[in-house]
Amino acid sequence: MIKTKSKIVNRLEGLGLFFFYLTIKIAGQRGAYLMLYPVIFCYAFFNIGMKKLTDPYYELIFGKLTKQESFLHRFNHFMNFGRLMVDRGLIGLRPDIKFNYTTKGKKGFLDALEKGCGVILLTAHVGSWQVVLSAINQPGRTVSSLMFRDDGLATKHFFELAGVEPPFNIIDVDNYLGGSIETINSLLNGDIVMIMGDRHFKGPYINISFLGKNAKIPASPFILAGSAGCAVVPLLTAKSGKNSNEVLIGNPVWPTRRPDAAQLEKLVGPFVKMIEEYVYKYPYQWYNFYNFWNE
């Protein structure tokens, strides 16, 4: 369960984020990356609570850890997340800096769109799909993202802080029925909806083995797709270089209108396997910073 932060903490984080974005605007990518080192070092060293939240993940990937190994994993993990935040900020604040990407498996995604309905792109807290949005955009189709939002400044995207139009539509999971009506309407209009499939807030879920331990994986994306008669297409992104990214697109699946538990487990399985393969290759680019298995 995600806890709501106090107003004071949100204001302090918001102030820190203001200076963070100011650094990006003035110093660019290189300067912002350099600024991360002392900040991340202190955060990884002194935040004992974060150690308790992330060690279960590291131990499943790397095995039993010493204190020094645990710190190094946290430092590398948080540095990758910091660079992700810089890159996301650069999209709007420094449009002169360009990102490139390679795409694998895009044909299945395009074939699913050809069926005349929209598509749910089922992604995870990995890489940054915002950086490679041009790989997702299709002519005449709106891209929406179903996401959790609150009033804290630190949770907002760069375009919200800058007061400019967002490059994609946002569907708030706190809306009526968790945003499901807006999601289905978007799909019926032939649009693309991004949904995070590796964090369960509320609603139906499947208990399935992930990295050898059972975890709750949301079933809602498949139920919504079945209701709209649309496909679910897994999509993960990874930062592969300073300004280069990989876009990994899995095979489409077509849920029935009312999938039962057994069908949902079969639908969820390939997505979970795709994330498992991803985190073994990019262990520091999965940004679920809490004990995923003790939810």
Q: Tell me: the pLDDT tens digits for 89-147?
A: 888 777 788 889 999 999 999 999 998 889 999 999 998 887 888 788 888 899 999 88
- Domain span at residue 246 reads 100-294
* Confidence band, pLDDT 50/70/90 cuts, at residue 2: very low
> What was the pLDDT predicted at 108?
94
Mean pLDDT of 6-11: 63
> What was the pLDDT predicted at 77?
97
> What was the pLDDT predicted at 153?
45
How distant is the alpha carbon of residue 228 from its chain centre?
23
Could you say which of 66, 93, 120 is where a domain stops?
93
What kind and span of H or E run contains 261? helix 261-281
Q: What is the pLDDT of residues 177-223, one digit of tens each?
A: 778 999 999 999 999 999 999 988 788 999 999 999 999 999 999 99
What does the block give as tokens for 133? 């949005």
Residue 239 to residue 102: CA distance in whole angstroms: 11
> What was the pLDDT predicted at 215?
94
In a domain, 1, yes or no: no
In a domain, 79, yes or no: yes
In a domain, 181, yes or no: yes
In a domain, 2, yes or no: no
In a domain, 69, yes or no: yes
Q: What percent of the chain has pLDDT over 90?
A: 60
> What was the pLDDT predicted at 8?
67
The residue type at 136: I
Q: Are residues 174 and 215 in the same domain?
A: yes
Instruction: Name every residue whose Cβ is closer than 8 Å to that of residue 181 and which is 6 or more positions away in sequence.
Output: none
What angle, 0 to 180 degrees and rounded to 10, lies between the N-to-C axes of helices 67-93 and 7-46?
A: 130
Q: Exposed, middle or buried by CB within 10 Å (0-12, 13-18, 19+), for 74?
A: buried
> What was the pLDDT predicted at 182?
93
Q: Are residues 79 and 130 in the same domain?
A: no
Could you say which of 78, 93, 108 is where a domain stops?
93
pLDDT value at 28 more than 60? yes
> What was the pLDDT predicted at 1?
45
pLDDT value at 268 more than 70? yes
pLDDT value at 3 more than 60? no
Q: Are residues 128 and 203 in the same domain?
A: yes
Residue 161 to residue 222: CA distance in whole angstroms: 33
Provide the whole-model pTM.
0.87
Instruction: Name every residue whose Cβ is closer than 8 Å to that of residue 194 and which is 6 or more positions away in sequence.
Output: 120, 121, 123, 129, 136, 143, 144, 145, 146, 168, 235
Partnered with residue 141 across adjacent β-strands are 138
> What was the pLDDT predicted at 179?
87
pLDDT value at 13 more than 50? yes
pLDDT value at 152 more than 50? no
> What was the pLDDT predicted at 280?
96
Q: What percent of the chain has pLDDT over 70?
A: 88
Q: What is the pLDDT of residues 223-257, one digit of tens each?
A: 999 999 999 999 999 999 999 999 999 999 999 99
Q: What is the pLDDT of residues 48-91, one digit of tens each?
A: 899 999 999 999 999 999 999 999 999 999 999 999 988 888 88
Could you say which of 93, 124, 147 is where a domain stops?
93
Residue 146 to residue 111: CA distance in whole angstroms: 23
> What was the pLDDT predicted at 11?
67
Mean pLDDT of 274-279: 97
> What was the pLDDT predicted at 130?
78
Whether 224 contacts 266, CB under 8 Å: no
pLDDT value at 156 more than 70? no
Q: Are residues 131 and 236 in the same domain?
A: yes
Q: Are residues 162 and 48 in the same domain?
A: no
Q: Are residues 75 and 163 in the same domain?
A: no
Mean pLDDT of 16-23: 77
Q: Are residues 76 and 131 in the same domain?
A: no
Total domains in the chain come to 2
Q: Are residues 204 and 224 in the same domain?
A: yes
Q: Tokens 């946290």 sit at which residue?
A: 74
Q: Are residues 36 and 157 in the same domain?
A: no
